[in-house]
Amino acid sequence: IQAHKEFTSRGLIVKTVNSKEEFAREIKQHTALNNKSGKAEITVVNIQKFSNDAQVVTQNDYNTDLQRVYFLDEVHRSYNPKGSFLANLIESDRNAIMIGLTGTPLLGDDYNSKMLFGNYIHKYYYNASIADGYTLRLIRENIETNYKSVLQEALDKVEIQKGTISKKELYAHPYFVEPMLEYIINDFEISRQTLGDDTIGAMVVCDSSEQAKMMYEIFQDKYISTKPTLQQTIQPELLAAENDATLSYGKRKKQRYKVKSAALILHDVGTKQERKDWVEDFKEGKIDILFVYNMLLTGFDAPRLKKLYLGRVIKDHNLLQTLTRVNRTYKDWKYGYIVDFADISKEFEKTNKAYFDELQSELGDEIEHYSNLFKSKEEIETEIEEIKEILFAYDTTNAEIFSQQISQISDISQIQKLKKALGNAKSLYNLIRLYGHYKLLEQIDFQMLTKLYIEATNHLNLLNLKNNIENKESSGNLLDVALEDIIFMFKKVGEEELLLADRLKNTLRKTREALSSNFDQKDPEFISLKEELERLFKQKHLSEVTQEEMRKNIGYLNKILEKVRELNRQNNLLKQKYKNDEKFARIHKRLTQRGDISQKELKIFNALNQIKSQADEQVIKNSKILDNEEYFGRAMIRLVIDAFKTKEKLPVNAESLKYINNLVVNEYINQFNGVSSW
């Protein structure tokens, strides 16, 4: 399913093989394409569809004009040479080229990926992926010391009650699971609140399927109230409003980050379709937390998954696969978080060393650029120093002075660098609080840096808009933004420049507002005036103009402003004739501009006014008439023919009647759908 989506989004025709029989037929074909469009095509097939008893390509079937290329995804899974899948795959076409893809190649002595598929033909490392913005670094959090003692007490209690008990039963007992779940829920809610995002999700990797089931059962019983109270059955809307009004800000904020829903994803729970639906609900943010054992540890892609609670040690490549469930980019998040109940540090070091050694043989001197998966406290301290260095030249104690300093910068790359540093500081602030490294907070005023980040962002937005308007062919957003703020970044040399700049800014504001208030922006005269304004923007970088050029620009703007005001005056007079109905004022203008219906505006007005009166009456009586555009069009054409041809006796033919009817129908439908007809 995921492969189908990815290839389709890249423009390929995707054929999905759904059965072993279908694959057997597919492999016997001598054509590369199934589609009739001639577009590039790829076939997606699950490895289980390769069957040892299915018909395969024989020497007689082989076609020298056809070369199959197999891209084998996730080759760290299901490609054991001792199993049947790989043998079936190779036998399906021994002349096929096979390219294996994996994020964690198998490195074991028994068999490994290189032995099966040959040497690497392309390598893409984690540090490069982070630098390119595809993945995030991870933060490993230990559980709190006081909680460890709570868990130990729970274990002791179970052993006393049960006597000899297996580890699996021990960790699935309610005495152990309940405090563990309480810790997870509290930690996740605090993380949401600390990091300021209630849309993130969590996953708990349990010690066993029994533990996962017990955790879900306790969650349903303790954290979800299914039975309505007596109060909830009486005027629930009134109570909800009253409760919301009486809640303090702090309580409302905490409630916003509350964990309210969960799903249990095990192979023996629910149907295949139900599990698929639960997973999709999680991806869409309808479920807060997932309880799993073996499922979803590899290949599961949900960007909002940002907290992973590890309840057991996972071995080798599976560990790295599991950890990287939380490394997907999401909003402006910088990290994914691992809460380690099982103390994976030794296993992670062993696994990471194996990959490190492999990389050493492959990379040689490049190994120094290889980043560790996890971020350390020392790296945080280094980043704080780097931020200080970038901000050294600026006043970071006063947001107003800082804003004045950066307002003189017209180089977008400089502001981008500042914004990136300040944004990183914002992430570090949350990270330091989450870690509890409060001494690091004393090194820099993070609260002030948040204000400076806003100032840098605002200035960068202005620079980008200014650059777009001055340099791009299209200025479609010309009237949607405060242009005077964008261009008012003059190098302030003296009093004369300031006075002129103020006059220019004021004239531009009036011109922009006058154009924006015009209700007929498809009028050729309006378009001409807007194009005049665009030409003024495009002829030179406005922040570099001289005093003389500023005076000329003020003159140009005043002429445009006079013309716009006159056009608006005429439009408003016409709108008043139609009882302030902009729809019919626009229709009236289109018909007079067309010129072949009548030279007398009074006759056009009389005809349109008749249509307006009857059309308004029909819509008022039955607003649903506008749900069916075709039906509404048939109703309007009768009114148009009656008004223009029968009553006003205007020389209209079938083509002009159709034109008038389209104008009327489009105006009503656009108004009904809330679409601007401008």
Give counts: helices (H), strands (E), the chain. 26, 10
Average pLDDT for the chain? 76
Which pairing describes strands 13-17 and 41-45: parallel, antiparallel, or unpaired? Answer: parallel
Mean pLDDT over residues 315-322, rounded? 69
445-481 per-position pLDDT tens digit: 777 887 888 888 888 877 776 666 555 544 445 555 5
pLDDT band at 626 (very low <50, low <70, confident <90, very high): confident
Helix (H) or strand (E) holding 490: none
pTM given for the model: 0.52
Q: Determine the pLDDT at residue 245.
A: 35
Characterize 638-674 residue by residue with b for buried, 16 or more Cβ atoms within 10 angstroms of its Cβ, and e for exposed.
Answer: ebbbebbbeebebebeeebbebbbebbbbbbbebeee
80-119 per-position pLDDT tens digit: 555 556 677 777 777 888 888 887 776 666 666 777 778 8
Give which of 373, 297, 344 is closest to 142, Cα–Cα.
344
What is the phi-psi region of residue 299: left when phi exceeds 0, alpha when psi lies from -120 to 50, beta otherwise? left
pLDDT for 660 beyond 90: yes
Alpha helices in 364-445 (DSSP H): 377-391, 399-407, 412-435
pLDDT for 488 beyond 60: no
Give which of 42, 41, 50 is closest to 22, Cα–Cα.
50
| Highest mean pLDDT out of 312-316, 390-394, 648-652 | 648-652
Q: Determine the pLDDT at residue 493.
A: 46
Range with the poorest average pLDDT among 438-452, 482-496, 537-551, 575-589: 482-496
Alpha helices in 11-58 (DSSP H): 20-28
Q: Which residue has the tokens 């059962």?
A: 217
pLDDT for 264 beyond 80: yes
| Highest mean pLDDT out of 52-66, 124-138, 231-245 | 124-138
Give which of 214, 244, 153, 146 is closest to 186, Cα–Cα.
146
Alpha carbon dihedral 68, 69, 73, 76, in 10-degree steps, equals 100
Cα 121 to Cα 98: distance, rounded to the nearest angstrom: 12
140-196 per-position pLDDT tens digit: 777 776 777 777 777 777 766 666 677 778 888 888 889 889 999 998 998 888 777
Number of neighbouring beta carbons within 10 Å of residue 443: 13
Mean pLDDT over residues 287-292, rounded? 95
- Return the bridge partners of 199, or none: none
pLDDT for 431 beyond 80: no
HSE-up of residue 289 (Cα within 13 Å, Cβ side): 28
Q: Determine the pLDDT at residue 81.
A: 55
Number of neighbouring beta carbons within 10 Å of residue 573: 10
Map 569-582 to HEC letters: HHHHHHHHHCCCCH
Q: Determine the pLDDT at residue 241.
A: 33
553-603 per-position pLDDT tens digit: 778 888 888 998 999 999 999 999 999 999 999 999 999 988 888 778 899
C-alpha distances in angstroms, 117 versus 75, 76, 102, 361, 580?
9, 11, 11, 18, 75
Cα 185 to Cα 220: distance, rounded to the nearest angstrom: 12
pLDDT for 231 beyond 50: no
Mean pLDDT over residues 492-500, rounded? 58
Q: Determine the pLDDT at residue 44.
A: 87
Q: Retrieve residue 364's tokens.
A: 């040689």
pLDDT for 356 beyond 60: no
| Phi and psi angles of residue 70, each rounded to the nearest 5 degrees, phi first | -100, 125
Q: In sequence order, what are the residues at sequence separation of 6 or more whose Cβ sits closer than 8 angstroms to the Cβ of residue 643? A: 606, 607, 608, 610, 611
